[in-house]
Amino acid sequence: QLTWNLYFVNLIQDKHVRSFTLFSCIAVNVYVKIFTNSPFLVCMDLALSQEEVIDPNYLWIGPDGKNLEGQIYTNLTETGKLMVMGFKESMSGAYTCTLSHKIIETDTQDETEMLEAYKFMVYAYREPDYTYKISVRFTTKECKLVANDQFFEELKKILDNIISDLACHVIDPSYKCHSVKRPKHSLLHELFVSFQVNPFAPGWQEVCNQLPHDCEDATNMRVQEARDRIEEFFNRQTYALKHDFQTLPTIHYVDHSFEVTRIDSCRPGFGKNDITHNDCASCCVVCDPGTYSPNNEVTCRTCVRTQIKQYGAKSC
């Protein structure tokens, strides 16, 4: 507010300026991946950029109300473009720019000072962490077969071994046996197996520590590779049953029963909001002031006991 007051005082004292007009526009949402540089925020609209601008002057104010000129984390060009470098949760908020320029009447040389205000709501975001929920089915002789439990325990060991070098592991494994009647077939018994492929097996932090800032992309690549390996494993079961066995095993894989669903989670302090942040609906966006996220949920909670003023709160 003090900066604005001083600016108006200087403006009024300038004897060459006859009047001024202030224009403002709706805030534009901008999303910046955490630890990266923001795109250049332009202190000018498209229409004005196509015109001659006389004596332009740019004043950028950050979320904390301070002038951004000279800040070590900003790149501010002489044409009023702003880049925020190494973006963090705490840098989220409103970035406003006031562009002052003159319109000079050709015949009278009267000057009109024009003020254009531009507002950008800039939010830090992360890519969600991926976990894959997988379900498969196996035909068995009967649901009370003792070998069903033994088979399931062996299957878990095999799957974990396939992906152990990726710092991924199988979590929440379970199975149920059901009787299935298909058209033109006799009654069958099948094991409905489900589990999740998770990228946070013991040792995953050491993998992340080898990266300069964050490891979301690498983590998601690892769990994608784990998912692909497991799918390939079940595809090989189909091939083996058709080519390597003259008599089918008592328990064997049901062809084409592999199904996979991706489950997203957000890091603490981040969440998804398709309504508020529909331009970045698939992103985990930093929690707004007044909300928080203490764990890996996909939504930010509202704090009812006290007012949180900062972005990215992990507790209330």
pLDDT band at 244 (very low <50, low <70, confident <90, very high): low
Taking the alpha carbons at both ends of the chain, their separation in whole angstroms is 30
**CB neighbour class for 188 (10 Å; exposed up to 12, middle 13-18, buried from 19):** middle
Query: How confident is the model at residue 55, as a pLDDT?
Result: 82
Q: What is the pLDDT of residue 119?
A: 93
Work out the average pLDDT over 303-315.
Answer: 86
Q: How crowded is residue 212: how many other Cβ atoms within 10 Å of its Cβ? A: 6
Between 61 and 109, name the one with better pLDDT. 61
Q: Residue 11 has what pLDDT?
A: 38
**Whole-number pLDDT of residue 3:** 36
* pLDDT top residue among 288 and 112: 288
CA distance 205 to 201: 9
Mean of pLDDT over the chain: 84
Average pLDDT over residues 251-275: 92
Residue 155 pLDDT: 94
Mean pLDDT of 268-283: 91
pLDDT attached to residue 184: 74
Q: Which pLDDT value is given to residue 20?
A: 46
Contact 256, 141 (CB under 8 A): no
pLDDT at 17 exceeding the cut of 60: no
Read off the pLDDT of residues 184-203 as tens digits, 9 standing for 90 and up: 777 889 999 999 999 988 87
Cα 113–Cα 30–Cα 24 angle in degrees, nearest 5 = 25
Mean pLDDT of 139-147: 91
Q: What's residue 239's pLDDT?
A: 72
